[in-house]
Amino acid sequence: MMTEKFSSLGIENGIATVTLMRAERMNALHPAAHYELEGIFDALARDATLRAVIITGAGKAFCTGYDLKDNLETGKIDLPGSGFGGLTFREDYPLPLIAAVNGAALGGGFELALACDLIVAAQGALFALPEPKVGWAALGGGVQRLPRAIGTKRAMSMILTGRSVDAAEGERLGFVNQVVPGAELLAAANAWAAQIAECAPLAIRCSKQVAYASFDQPSFAAMMDLASYSTAAALFESEDAAEGKRAFAQRRKPNWRGR
């Protein structure tokens, strides 16, 4: 476990866990925390041994957004180029991301969770984009990603009202993958990560890239054209693709090498 000033990082069995450590501010993030997290996510993306990243919060909250108290104290609002939490503006993060939402995920905190590929929520978790209630808009990924995740009408019921949604409703709406008791949250997130780790790393990276990038293709033909995706050629030419066929024929567990 490595502890930074505003977060901590643990790595075990190829799975990284990033924990927001501003419990005294309900894990609201100020500029220094955003830049610290950007450095962590940059370093994790370069680590070829990693298979998935879990993001969670210390204390009672996941993340309650931008630290407005810090803004009032300093008069400063600052985000790195990678966005809220060093993550939300990234277009093609190579590792699967799992949000383990232990409490309130509000504003930028909900945007941080939406930037993840999976959301596992504790039963007491809450989600909202309340920015319009304080004269802002959730432009850090909230109003962009939520409609894609659950459809326009369902998303607008949250975006236009700023209302809070509990974990059970989040699962019904479709942006929460699993709801578990709080004591089981990290175990559940790690179980998802372990299932991902059973798959070939290049296959996971390609699948993730194509799933998201296909939204932006101008036509069905372009969406289906593998030349549109940088990871596709590398996947089919990889050692792992050949190993997968051998392992299947030999009825054994594959030995993935990530190349």
Residues with a catalytic annotation lie at 111, 131
Write the burial class of residue 62 (CB in 10 Å: 0-12 exposed, 13-18 middle, 19+ buried): buried
Which residues have a Cβ under 8 Å from the Cβ of 84 and sit 6 or more positions away?
29, 34, 66, 108, 111, 112, 140, 141
Beta-strand pair 126-128/165-166:
antiparallel
Q: CA 245, CA 65: separation in Å to the nearest integer?
A: 46
Q: CA 85, CA 199: separation in Å to the nearest integer?
A: 28
Question: Rounded to the nearest 5°, which phi and psi values hold at 205?
Answer: -65, -45
Cross-sheet strand order for the sheet of 61-63: 61-63, 104-106, 126-128, 165-166
DSSP, residue by residue, 3-21? E-SSEEEEEETTEEEEEE-
E strand or H helix at 237, and its extent? none
Which two tokens mark 245? 């066929």
